[in-house]
A and B are shown apart, each in its own frame.
Chain A
Amino acid sequence: MAESAPEGQVVCRYCRTTHPPAGSSCPRCGAALDIRASVSRSGWIEQPPIRDLARIQFGASRVQIEGTQLPVADFTLVGDEWIYFSHHVLLWLEPSVRITNTALAGAWNRMLSGMPLVMLEARGPGHVALSDNHAGELIAIPLMPGQQVWTREHRFLTATGNVSYTWEQTGVWYVTGSGDDRETHYPLGQFGDLFLARRTPGLLLLHSPGNTFLRDLGPGETVLVQPSALLYRDVTVSTHLHLEYPSGTQGLSWRSSFSQRHVWLRLIGPGRVAVSSVFRHSGSEAITNNSPATVQRW
Chain B
Amino acid sequence: MERIECQWCRLQNDPGTASCLACGAPLDGRAVVTDSGWREAPRLRDMTEFRFAGSVVQVEGELVPVAEIALGHGDAVYFEHHLLLWKDEATPVAAMPTQGGIRRILGGMPFVLTMAYGPGRVAFSRDSPGELVVLPLHPGMELDVREHAFLLASHTIGYSFVRVQGLANVLHGGNGMYLDRFVTTSAPGLLVLHGYGDVFERSLGPGEKIMVEPGGFLYKDASVTMQAVQLPVRTGLLRRGMYLAEITGPGRVGIQSMYVHHHAE
Contacts and interface: CB of A to CB of B under 8 A. Distances in A.
Contacts of A10: none
Contact of A53 (B32, B237, B258): B32
Interface centre among A66, A69, A101, A120 (most CB of B within 10 A): A69
B117 interface: no
A151 to B, nearest CB: 21
Given A87-B235, A101-B235, A131-B258, A93 B211 contact: yes
A135 B235 contact: no
Interface stretch (A33-41, A42-50, A71-79, A237-245): A71-79
A74 B242 contact: no
B261 A133 contact: yes
A40 B92 CA distance: 52
B235 A70 contact: no
A129 B257 CA distance: 10
Given A91-B255, A127-B36, A133-B259, A70 B198 contact: yes
Contacts of A117: 235-237
A90 interface: yes
B209 A69 contact: no
A99 interface: yes
Nearest to A121: B233
Contacts of B34: 53, 64, 66, 74
Given A93-B244, A99-B232, A133-B259, A66 B197 contact: no
Contacts of A91: 212-213, 216, 255, 257, 259
Contacts of B237: 107, 111, 117
Contacts of A53: 32, 34
Nearest to B33: A53
Interface in B7-38: 32, 34-36, 38
B146 to A, nearest CB: 14
Contact of A74 (B35, B43, B211, B261): B35
Interface string B44-57: 00000000000000
A178 to B, nearest CB: 32
A55 to B, nearest CB: 7
A115 to B, nearest CB: 11
A33 to B, nearest CB: 20
B144 interface: no
A52 interface: yes
A95 B211 contact: yes
Nearest to B211: A93
Contacts of B233: 87, 99-101, 118, 120
A92 B211 contact: yes
A134 interface: yes
A90 B213 contact: yes
B104 interface: no
A88 B35 contact: no
Contacts of A80: none
A133 B197 CA distance: 8
Contacts of B147: none
Contact of A71 (B38, B131, B212, B257): B257
B60 interface: no
Interface string B196-219: 111010000000011111001000
A67 B256 CA distance: 10
B197 A70 contact: yes
Given A72-B198, A94-B210, A100-B232, A135 B216 contact: no
A222 interface: no
B8 to A, nearest CB: 16
A68 interface: yes
Contacts of A70: 129, 196-198, 257-258
Contacts of B210: 92-95
B38 A66 contact: yes
B233 to A, nearest CB: 4
B231 interface: yes
Interface in B232-259: 232-237, 242, 244, 255, 257-259
B142 interface: no
B227 to A, nearest CB: 13
A67 B35 contact: no
Contacts of B216: 91-92, 131
Contacts of B235: 87, 101, 117-118, 120
3 closest A-B pairs by beta carbon, nearest first, are A67-B198, A70-B197, A101-B233
Interface of B: 32, 34-36, 38, 40, 43, 63, 129-131, 196-198, 200, 209-213, 216, 231-237, 242, 244, 255, 257-259, 261, 263
Given A88-B261, A93-B210, 8 more contacts: A52-B32, A62-B35, A66-B38, A67-B197, A69-B130, A72-B198, A93-B244, A133-B258
9 contacts: A55-B35, A69-B257, A70-B197, A70-B198, A87-B233, A87-B242, A91-B216, A99-B231, A117-B236
Interface of A: 52-53, 55, 62, 64, 66-72, 74, 76, 87-88, 90-95, 99-101, 107, 111, 117-118, 120, 127, 129, 131, 133-135
